[in-house]
Amino acid sequence: MTINVQVPSMDPMPLPGPVWLMTGLLLLVFTLHVLAMNAALGGGMWTLWNYVRGKKPEHPNSRRLAEELAKMLPIFLAYTITLGVAALLFVQVLYGRFLYSSSILIGGYWIMVIPLVMLAYYGYYYVSYTAVRGKSRTGLVAALSVLCLLAIGFIFSNNMTLMLRPEVWLKMYRAHPNGFNLNLHDWELWPRYLHMMIGAVAVASALLAHLGMLKLKKDPEYGAWLVRRAAAVFAITTGIQFLDGLWLLLAVPRDVAMVFLRDPVAGTVFGLALMAVIAAVMLMVLGSMAEQPNSLVYAGVAMVVVTVFLMTGMRHLLRQAYLAPYLDPGAVVVKPQTSAIVIFFVLFVGGLATVAVMLWKLAKYRKMQGAAGAGEMTI
Amino acid sequence: MNYPDWILGFPGGMLIALIAIVHVTVSHFAIGGGAFLVVTEKRAYGKNDTAALAYVRRHSKFFALLTVVFGAVTGVGIWFTIGLVTPEATSALIHSFVWAWAIEWVFFFVEITSAIIYATSWDRLDRKSHMLVGWIYFVAAWMSLAVINGIITFMLTPGKWLQTHNIWDGLFNPTYWPSLFARTALCVLLAGVFGLVTIGKKDGEARERLVRWSGMWMLAGSILLPAFIYWYFLKLPKFSKTYISERMIYVTHALNSGYACAALIGAVTLVFALWKPRWMRVPVVVLLVVASLGLMGSGEYVREFSRKPWVVNGYMYANDIALAEVPVLQQDGVAAKANFLLTTDTKSMEYGENLFTLECGSCHAVDGYRSMRQRVKGWDAAFATQMVAHLPMTKGPMPEFAGNEADREALGKYLASLNPPVDYGTITDANRVAVGAQVFAVHCGNCHTVNGNFRPLRDAFTNSTPDQVEGLLPMLDTMSTNMPHFDAPADQAQALAVYISTEANKSLPNPPASNQPGPPPGVK
């Protein structure tokens, strides 16, 4: 990799917090963002498929699942966006000079994320309101929303790969200074995009297996059906992910990919991620294949969450390896805004507590209503 | 100069403005509307008003759909566009305020969660808990304004931050409080306006009562707003007040439309909401929503424009060049510093055009918005090159040009190429004053008037003969380093002298007060 490539210089202002802290927060909120995104996109695909399938009377479970899922989609998307904003904050402060550059190069498409996400969002609301009644357009709107999200994912993959490739920026800029560029010549783009999208289906399936487990007690037939189906889709898509992951590793330039062999931390994270995903598949398959799905499924879902977190870590280490020629950790000036950081954490805990109180109130009322309902029945 | 310049063909600020105006309108409604919902709900329970309760349930759905989706996504849209249009400024802001934004994000997170719960849990919570969720929403929403208000006001009045670079000095800057109060008044006003949207068509006593109730909110907002705006005005920097009070035609237009929209909202409130609520029909509600957008748009425009030529007052210019970078670029030239130029051939026209998009394009289009072609009419390359060195002296709020002599020449050549050379024809006694006026507009009018308000020349030239004026013309640049050299042909110089002398000796009912504005902000 040549180093006489020009990249924007560091902001003259010091970093307002320790790098480890902001990196940690970035990895945390990005993992949560990915989980929510997976639920929104993979969940949307599940909804669409089951909505279409459930139109036939012989598939009542599909119909029921589509109706239940449809109600959740806007909420998944709400948290995808909310958590994405948090990730955007920290990635800007840590990697702004790379991210702003690549965003501008694809600016014409990058800005389209906003109307696309709005369209997908309102589409999901439409689906959530109409899935039960089954309007003629419901399926079409769901498909449109999913397509919008797939397009957004593609734009994001372009930006996230392009920000790692300063050596192509100037040529690209001169080709289209109006921002209508895409990073199509990058070998890594396609496997990486597929990795995120197939991953969305896999993780959403794992979350649905979890949902199925919760349904088991009240409705064993429906619960077991959902767990088995979700676990199967999870296993299959994860299998495809293995192949795609291999393609992705081969597409990464060798000297960059070597980080997983040379660097002990990176190697460990890689190994752990591999073990976590294998464990997740085994637990999920074993738990769902039993006569009655059992708690191994829960363990499998937990391993999926661990895998996503580790994969986020790998993505971060790969980014560091790509940008190594342009990063000079010694030159980074840190001047922590300690009082603001403390206030943030206090409010963060307070915010979580507030949300917990609201959810607790909802749960308490539901319980109370259930009891009252039972009482009425006895009269 | 660090980043690629996104060449849109129009000033990128317009894109930010477009998204920001709709976002700001919806987000202020999102705050006031939150209080409106809970207070209306509480009143409905207290008075056992089933119509009001049905209304507030309906309104909460509309509220969530508009604020959680459109409001939130356009907010992200502002992030996206500022990063694309002014990456340096965005980077400076994020380095200074990432923790403020992180704090704001916590409130945003609570806000989104409580909005969703409030709108969907009418039958899943007892009344008290439901109202508690509503209040949690309102407090979180208002707190997110309280944080963001600090960053927005910082950009115009950074106050002590310029010396200390301390986050709290930046956030709690001189206009923080008046702006927060003014915005809160807007929240109250918009709660009333949008409250009308879901009021329904069915006539009757209940509808009239609800229209009046919305009207009360609009009235309260309308009464509070002017007082807080005035307080805000008092705290503005001197240069902003100058733009607002006299100099800039764009600001004057925006101010007038803002006043008109506010007056319209006030009048409609009194007549259609409070006096004859039966008359509050769909077209009137549409008019109110449009007027609200107009009010927010004008307000944001005035606030943005009165900050020009800065994006962060005293720290970074609107063209995304930091004040500290200017001397470096003037020394070394743009070609040596910029990472993303379309050409590095500093002699080429393309380079000049590139400099235009880099340094001028954030506020000027060639044609259309603040058209550059109009502004440089009559300039030849030599004169344009000189003018580029004196930008801060011009009538508009302009930054210094950040480039060396070769850059000025390239930009000057490009600017001159925008128009064909002017042909004044044969100058005769009959048309001499008229031609002189044109020569004045080209050579002097960018920075002076004769009898107007902006650096009038009247005092200097009263009792001067045309010959005396003409004698001074070759010496302009030696008289003041702020003036370009005058090198028009002799017949044009003569026409100019006759014009200035005639105008300066004209008897006027109200001669202009001698108004010599000091150097613009940031120019030492």
Nearest CA in chain A to B8: A178
> Across chain B, what does the average pLDDT equal?
93
Residue A9 contacts B, CB cutoff 8 Å: yes
8 Å CB contact between A118 and A154: no
Look at residue A250 in the predicted model and tell me its pLDDT. Answer: 95
Look at residue B201 in the predicted model and tell me its pLDDT. Answer: 85
Residue A7 contacts B, CB cutoff 8 Å: yes
Whether residue A114 is found in the same domain as residue A255: no
Residue A111 lies in a domain: yes
Whether residue A136 is found in the same domain as residue A198: no
Look at residue A371 in the predicted model and tell me its pLDDT. Answer: 57
Whether residue A269 is found in the same domain as residue A177: no
CA distance B234 to chain A (A): 30
Check whether B281 has a pLDDT greater than 80.
yes
Give the domain extent around A145. 16-186
DSSP letter for each residue of B195-239: HTTTS-S--SHHHHHHHHHHHHHHHHHHHHHHHHHHHHHHTS-HH
Q: What is the pLDDT of residues B357-371, one digit of tens each?
A: 999 999 999 998 889
Look at residue B247 in the predicted model and tell me its pLDDT. Answer: 61
Look at residue A1 in the predicted model and tell me its pLDDT. Answer: 44
Out of A186, A204, A238, pick the residue that ends a domain.
A186
CA–CA distance, B97 with A276 (Å, rounded to integer): 37
For B72-78, what is the mean pLDDT? 97
Q: Is B312 helix (H, G, I), strand (E, B) or coil?
A: strand
CA distance B468 to chain A (A): 52
Judged by CB atoms closer than 8 Å, whether chains meet at A93 and B98 is answered as yes
Tell me which chain B residues have a C-beta less than 8 angstroms from the C-beta of A326. none
CA–CA distance, A113 with A91 (Å, rounded to integer): 18
Of B2, B84, B99, the CB nearest to A17: B99
Report helix angle B72-85 to B87-120, nearest 10: 170
Judged by CB atoms closer than 8 Å, whether chains meet at B83 and A81 is answered as no
Q: What is the pLDDT of residues A150-166, one digit of tens each?
A: 999 999 999 999 999 99
CA–CA distance, B451 with B449 (Å, rounded to integer): 6
Q: How confident is the model at residue A373 (pLDDT cuts 50, 70, 90)?
A: very low
Number of structural domains found in chain A: 2
Q: How confident is the model at residue B522 (pLDDT cuts 50, 70, 90)?
A: very low
How many CB pairs (< 8 A) connect A and B? 195
Q: Say if pTM beats, i.e. exceeds, 0.90.
A: yes
Q: What is the pLDDT of residues B337-354, one digit of tens each?
A: 999 999 989 999 999 999
Whether residue A219 is found in the same domain as residue A316: yes
Point out which residues pair with B312 in neighbouring strands.
B316
Preceding amide of B309 cis, omega within 30: yes
Tell me which chain A residues have a C-beta less than 8 angstroms from the C-beta of B332. none
Mutation for A interface: B1, B16, B84, most A CBs within 10 A: B84
- Could you give the percent of chain B with pLDDT greater than 90? 82
Of A15, A101, A355, the CB nearest to B113: A355
> Domain B325-416 belongs to what topology?
Cytochrome Bc1 Complex; Chain D, domain 2 (1.10.760)
Of A93, A101, A117, the CB nearest to B73: A117
Check whether B243 has a pLDDT greater than 70.
yes
Interface of A with B in 163-182 (CB under 8 A): 169-170, 173-174, 177-179
Domain B12-314 CATH assignment equals 1.10.10: no
Whether residue A259 is found in the same domain as residue A308: yes
Check whether A239 has a pLDDT greater than 60.
yes
The yes-or-no answer to whether B12-314 and B432-504 have a common fold is: no
Q: Is B322 helix (H, G, I), strand (E, B) or coil?
A: strand
**Which of the pair, B482 or A83, is modelled with greater confidence?**
A83
Whether residue A180 is found in the same domain as residue A196: no
> CATH code for B432-504?
1.10.760.10
Quick one: tokens of B232? Answer: 């805000």
Point out which residues pair with B317 in neighbouring strands.
B310
For A136-142, what is the mean pLDDT? 93
Look at residue A134 in the predicted model and tell me its pLDDT. Answer: 73
Judged by CB atoms closer than 8 Å, whether chains meet at A101 and B4 is answered as yes
Quick one: tokens of B269? Answer: 């409130």
Judged by CB atoms closer than 8 Å, whether chains meet at A170 and B106 is answered as no
- Residue (of A208, A215, A214) closest to A231 by Cα position: A208
> Across chain A, what does the average pLDDT equal?
94
CA distance A121 to chain B (A): 7
Judged by CB atoms closer than 8 Å, whether chains meet at B98 and A8 is answered as no
- Could you give the percent of chain B with pLDDT greater than 70? 97
Nearest CA in chain B to A4: B339
Interface of A with B in 12-71 (CB under 8 A): 12-17, 22, 25
Of B65, B98, B165, the CB nearest to A89: B98
CA distance B105 to chain A (A): 7
Of A8, A13, A75, the CB nearest to B339: A8
Tell me which chain A residues have a C-beta less than 8 angstroms from the C-beta of B62. none
Backbone angles phi, psi at A187, to 5 degrees: -60, -25
Quick one: tokens of A30? Answer: 């990005």
Look at residue B523 in the predicted model and tell me its pLDDT. Answer: 42
Tell me which chain A residues have a C-beta less than 8 angstroms from the C-beta of B116. 75, 78
Q: What is the pLDDT of residues A310-362, one digit of tens each?
A: 999 999 999 999 999 999 988 999 999 999 999 999 999 999 999 999 999 99
Q: What is the pLDDT of residues A266-300, one digit of tens each?
A: 999 999 999 999 999 999 999 999 889 999 999 99
CA distance A109 to chain B (A): 11
Mutation for A interface: B94, B135, B337, B348, most A CBs within 10 A: B94
Look at residue B252 in the predicted model and tell me its pLDDT. Answer: 86
Judged by CB atoms closer than 8 Å, whether chains meet at A178 and B9 is answered as yes
Check whether B451 has a pLDDT greater than 60.
yes
Out of A122, A152, A186, pick the residue that ends a domain.
A186
Whether residue A28 is found in the same domain as residue A164: yes
CA–CA distance, B11 with B14 (Å, rounded to integer): 6
Whether residue A180 is found in the same domain as residue A197: no
Give chain B's largest Cα–Cα span. Answer: 90
Whether residue A245 is found in the same domain as residue A157: no
Residue A379 lies in a domain: no
Tell me which chain A residues have a C-beta less than 8 angstroms from the C-beta of B148. none
- Could you give the percent of chain A with pLDDT greater than 90? 91
Residue B41 CB contacts under 8 Å (≥ 6 apart), including other chains: B53, B56, B130, B131, B134
For B65-87, what is the mean pLDDT? 96
Residue A339 contacts B, CB cutoff 8 Å: yes
Quick one: tokens of A225? Answer: 């059906």
Look at residue B331 in the predicted model and tell me its pLDDT. Answer: 97
Tell me which chain B residues have a C-beta less than 8 angstroms from the C-beta of A106. none
Whether residue A180 is found in the same domain as residue A121: yes
Look at residue B397 in the predicted model and tell me its pLDDT. Answer: 87
Tell me which chain B residues have a C-beta less than 8 angstroms from the C-beta of A82. 72, 105, 108-109, 112
Q: How confident is the model at residue B519 (pLDDT cuts 50, 70, 90)?
A: very low
Check whether B219 has a pLDDT greater than 60.
yes
Tell me which chain A residues have a C-beta less than 8 angstroms from the C-beta of B90. 92, 96, 100
Whether residue A216 is found in the same domain as residue A306: yes
Tell me which chain B residues have a C-beta less than 8 angstroms from the C-beta of A354. 110, 114, 136, 140
Could you list the beta-strand ranges (E) of B67-186: none
Check whether B513 has a pLDDT greater than 90.
no
Q: How confident is the model at residue B316 (pLDDT cuts 50, 70, 90)?
A: very high
Residue A105 contacts B, CB cutoff 8 Å: yes
CA–CA distance, B317 with B308 (Å, rounded to integer): 8
Out of A310, A325, A340, pick the residue that ends a domain.
A325
Whether residue A170 is found in the same domain as residue A267: no
Q: What is the pLDDT of residues A45-63, one digit of tens each?
A: 999 999 999 999 999 999 9
Residue A79 lies in a domain: yes
Look at residue B246 in the predicted model and tell me its pLDDT. Answer: 67
Check whether A2 has a pLDDT greater than 60.
no
Look at residue B517 in the predicted model and tell me its pLDDT. Answer: 52
Tell me which chain B residues have a C-beta less than 8 angstroms from the C-beta of A92. 83, 90-91, 94, 98
CA–CA distance, B511 with B453 (Å, rounded to integer): 10
* Buried-state track B234-250, b at ≥16 Cβ within 10 A, e below 16: ebbbebbebbbeebbee
Quick one: tokens of A194? Answer: 């597929």
Could you tell me the residue ranges of all domains in chain B? 12-314, 325-416, 432-504
For B2-28, what is the mean pLDDT? 93
